[in-house]
Structures are given as structure tokens and as C-alpha cells.
């Protein structure tokens, strides 16, 4: 059995816990948070030992194999480095860290102490995205002209007021680091590195330190052009998360309130029946196996097979770098 512990027991930790419970050869062996009331509630539900410091947990549970870092993002680096130094493998919630300096500290520690590590970018495992990835690998749309990603969501002021760290640059980040980083990771995974960015970013409606709205134009190394629109300012509720691809032989639109559905798909090499069958397949199970469960399962298999996890820390760093490039340039233009 691979023994997992959670550090940081907020809402995202539940996804990790449920994923561990559903994964063969995985067992929840510890919970850690500075909030004792939260810990007590989780302990009653999940029947796992609880600790208010990771150092204490590492001392009392030497058999732990994997630490899931689920704390506010600004704490990721120091906790990940401490766990790696103790010989523990790592699953780090997105973003890997809030700065490139911290991402590089984590990467260096993982290499130094010889542990395995991955970052949580679960949207890669969505069925519609998996089909899009396969189509791109087979060049089904021909030469690509341009792509677009839009995250038009709502996070009202009450969301940011839940905790003093929300919306801060040091601990949380803005819409790019917190919400749109999933779409940015998909852009990099699907279309490759970005060579140039032009951006605007601003804090338009929310009383937070970081940006709540950002617009960017990208040029990828392969010449593909792209746009990114991200905001948490849509009135009242989430509107859409959309990824659109245009090529010489077709196009695809993956969307919905979350990008789980094929909204449109045209491809010269596919018949209408082929496309209908593809769309129907996704409609029947748009969420598939939860992404967190795929990542937990991949870590278990990586340990049992002694291989690297599917999502690398370099992948996580690339997403952070793109966020930093867009946000920094955008906020400089604003000032």
C-alpha cells in the first residue's frame, strides 16, 4: 500500500481524500492543518490521524510515502521542500508555486533528495480534452491558424473575504494563477511553448490585491497565435470555460460552464456520423474519471513501476511562467 497524507485541509483536500479512497493500493494515513476544528471534523469523517504541523506528522508517521500539499499557494514551496528532505514523494496542488524562484526551489529539492513529484493539473484528463489531444497529435485539423481560451467566471467579494490570504499576491494570486492556470496548462500541453506575450491585466471589480481580469495575446513557438481572456467578474455566476481551435481542415470548440463538452467539431477527415458519435460519447460521460483520482492513481503506479509521474514539475513551472509573464506585463501596462 502507498500511504498518503494531506497537508492543508480546506475544500480542495476533499478531492484528494476521495481520490485516495477510490484508488487501489492507496490509503489515507494522515491529515495536517493548523485549524484544529477543521481537523477534528475531517478526522471524524475519514478516521485518519491528525496533526497541526507537518514536522510533527513526519516524525510520528515515518511510514508515509506521499504528501499532498493542499495549502494556500504561497506556502507550497517551504512545505514541499521540507517533505522532500524527509524523503516523501509529492503531489502539489496547482499552482506549483506563486513565483518562478519558489518553483525552482521545489524542483531543486526534488532532484536533490531523489523523490517523485507532480503538480495537480486535472483538466488534462477530461474526456473532451483527451479527444482533442488525440486529434491534434494526428493533425486532424491540419495546420493550425489560431486558438482561444476563455475563463468567464464569477468569484464574488464574499469568496475573497472568506480568508485574509485570498486574492493576495503573496499567498493566492489572481484570476490567472488561481482559476485560468488550468486553461493555460492545457494551452501549453496541447500547443507547445509560448514565445511571445502581449497582455493587459487589471483589478476591476473585486477588492483584492491581484488581478480579477486579464486579456492576453500569445504567439507559440510553432507560429500558432492565441488569445486568453480570464476574469472572476462575470455577474452572479460562472458563464463559461471555453477552448477553441481553428485549423485549415477543421475546428473544435470545447466548452460549457466548465470545458467538459464538445460544443462544435468540424473535421474534413471525419464523417458527420463520426463526429456525432464522438460528441455523443462525451455527452454520456463528460467528466470521466475525476482528474484528481487520475493523478493519485498515476502517482501510485509511478511508485510501483519506478517511473516519473505523467505531469512533471517542469510542466507546472511552464504554467506558472506563463501566468507570471501575462500578469507582470499586464499590470505594468496598467500602471
Other CB atoms within a 10 A radius of the CB of residue 40 amount to 11
Query: Residue 256: pLDDT above 60?
Result: yes
What CATH superfamily is the domain 2-122+291-309?
NAD(P)-binding Rossmann-like Domain (3.40.50.720)
The residue count for the chain: 335
pLDDT at position 172? 95
Classified as helix, coil or strand, 192 is: coil
At 101-137, the pLDDT tens digits run: 999 999 999 999 999 999 999 999 999 999 999 999 9
> Does the global pTM surpass 0.75?
yes
> What is the CATH number that goes with domain 124-288+320-334?
3.30.360.10
Query: Residue 266: pLDDT above 90?
Result: yes
CB 42 within 8 A of CB 11: no
**Backbone torsions φ then ψ of 308, nearest 5 degrees:** -80, 145
Contacts of 190 (CB under 8 A, 6+ apart): 132, 133, 136, 147, 245
Q: Specify the DSSP class assigned to residue 93.
A: P
Classified as helix, coil or strand, 185 is: helix
**Which is higher by pLDDT, 329 or 288?**
288
Mean pLDDT, the chain, rounded, equals: 96
Lowest mean pLDDT of 17-21, 40-44, 138-142, 286-290, name the range: 40-44
pLDDT at position 41? 87
DSSP-derived secondary structure for 256-275: TTTT-EEEEEEETTS-HHHH
At 312-325, the pLDDT tens digits run: 999 999 999 999 99
Query: Residue 278: pLDDT above 60?
Result: yes
Query: How large is the average pLDDT for residues 25-32?
Result: 97
Q: Which residues pair with 217 in a beta bridge?
A: 198, 227
Q: Band of the pLDDT at 42, cuts 50, 70, 90?
A: confident
At 81-105, the pLDDT tens digits run: 999 999 999 999 999 999 999 999 9
pLDDT at position 43? 85
Query: Residue 335: pLDDT above 60?
Result: no
At 136-160, the pLDDT tens digits run: 999 999 999 999 999 999 999 999 9
Domain ranges of the chain: 2-122+291-309, 124-288+320-334
Q: State how far the Cα of 48 lies from the Cα of 23, in Å rounded to an integer.
A: 17
At 180-235, the pLDDT tens digits run: 999 999 999 999 999 999 999 999 999 999 999 999 999 999 999 999 999 999 99
Amino acid at each position: 500500500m502507498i500511504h498518503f497524507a494531506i497537508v492543508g485541509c480546506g475544500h480542495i483536500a476533499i478531492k484528494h481524500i476521495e481520490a485516495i479512497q477510490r484508488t487501489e493500493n492507496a490509503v489515507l494515513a494522515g491529515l495536517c492543518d493548523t485549524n484544529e476544528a477543521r481537523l477534528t471534523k475531517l478526522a471524524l469523517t475519514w478516521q485518519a490521524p491528525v496533526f497541526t504541523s507537518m514536522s510533527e506528522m513526519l516524525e510520528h508517521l515515518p511510514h508515509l510515502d506521499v504528501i499532498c500539499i493542499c495549502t494556500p499557494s504561497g506556502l507550497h514551496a517551504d512545505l514541499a521542500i521540507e517533505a522532500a528532505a524527509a524523503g516523501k514523494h509529492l503531489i502539489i496542488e496547482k499552482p506549483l508555486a506563486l513565483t518562478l524562484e519558489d518553483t525552482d526551489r521545489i524542483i531543486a529539492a526534488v532532484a536533490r533528495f531523489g523523490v517523485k513529484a507532480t503538480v495537480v493539473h486535472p483538466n488534462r484528463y477530461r474526456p473532451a480534452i483527451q479527444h482533442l489531444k488525440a486529434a491534434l497529435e494526428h493533425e486532424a485539423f491540419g495546420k493550425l491558424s489560431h486558438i482561444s481560451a476563455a475563463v468567464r467566471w464569477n468569484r464574488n467579494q464574499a469568496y475573497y473575504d472568506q480568508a485574509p490570504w485570498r486574492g493576495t499576491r503573496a499567498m493566492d494570486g489572481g484570476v490567472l494563477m488561481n482559476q485560468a492556470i488550468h486553461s493555460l496548462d492545457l494551452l501549453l500541453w496541447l500547443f507547445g511553448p509560448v514565445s511571445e506575450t502581449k497582455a493587459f491585466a487589471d483589478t476591476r471589480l473585486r477588492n483584492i490585491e491581484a488581478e480579477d481580469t486579464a486579456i492576453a495575446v500569445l504567439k507559440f513557438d510553432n507560429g500558432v497565435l492565441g488569445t486568453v481572456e480570464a476574469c472572476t467578474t462575470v455577474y452572479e455566476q460562472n458563464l463559461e470555460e471555453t477552448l477553441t481551435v481553428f485549423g485549415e481542415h477543421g475546428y473544435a470548440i470545447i466548452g460549457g460552464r466548465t470545458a467538459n463538452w464538445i460544443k462544435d467539431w468540424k473535421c474534413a477527415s471525419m464523417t458527420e456520423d463520426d463526429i456525432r458519435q464522438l460528441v455523443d460519447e462525451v455527452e454520456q460521460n463528460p467528466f470521466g474519471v475525476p482528474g484528481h483520482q487520475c493523478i493519485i492513481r498515476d502517482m501510485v503506479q509511478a511508485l510501483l513501476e519506478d517511473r516519473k509521474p505523467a505531469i512533471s514539475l517542469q510542466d507546472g513551472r511552464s504554467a506558472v511562467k506563463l501566468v507570471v509573464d501575462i500578469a507582470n506585463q499586464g499590470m505594468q501596462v496598467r500602471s
